[in-house]
Amino acid sequence: MGQPGIDFPGFGCGLVIVRDGKILLYRRVNAPEARHWNIVGGKVDHMERSQAAACREAEEESGLKIGSTEFLCLSEQVIDADRQHWISMIYVTRDFSGEPQLTEPDKLSEFGWFSLDALPQPLSRFTADAAEALRRHEQGVAA
C-alpha cells in the first residue's frame, strides 16, 4: 500500500499554541526536517477529522490539555531532502491548560516559547507557513 508522505502525499495537521504572544515550538529529532523547529502536529488517521487530530497530536507531544481551536491555514510541504510530500491543516489555540513537557523524547529533543519576530532557525516548512499565517491573522489581513 505504501507510506503516506513517501509513496504518496500524506495528510497531516498542526497546532500553533499561543501564550503571552509567543508560540510553542519543539525541535524535531527525525525526518522529515530533522533538527528543525516545529509546531506540534502529525499524521491524520483514517476517519479522524484534522482538527481532532491536531488536538490529539498536541496533547501527545506536549502533555498539554487542549481546549478550543480555530483553523489557521493549509500548508503543503514538498521536502526534497527527505523525499517527502505532505499537505497539512493547521489550527491555532490560546485555550489550553498545563505546562509543556518533553513527552516524546525519541521524536522531539527540546522546546521553548518564541515570539514571532524572534523564531529559532531552521523552521520546518509547515511551521514557517503557520507563523506567516498567524502574523496575517493577528494583523487582520486575509490570506
pLDDT value for 142: 58
Give the list of residues 6+ apart from residue 132 with CB closer than 8 angstroms, or none: none
Ordered per-residue pLDDT tens for the chain, 143 residues: 899 999 999 999 999 999 999 999 999 999 999 999 999 999 999 999 999 999 999 999 999 999 999 999 999 999 999 999 999 999 999 999 999 999 999 999 999 999 999 999 999 999 999 999 999 988 886 55
Query: What is the pTM for the complete model shown?
Result: 0.95
Q: Which helix (H) or strand (E) holds 1?
A: none
pLDDT value for 123: 98
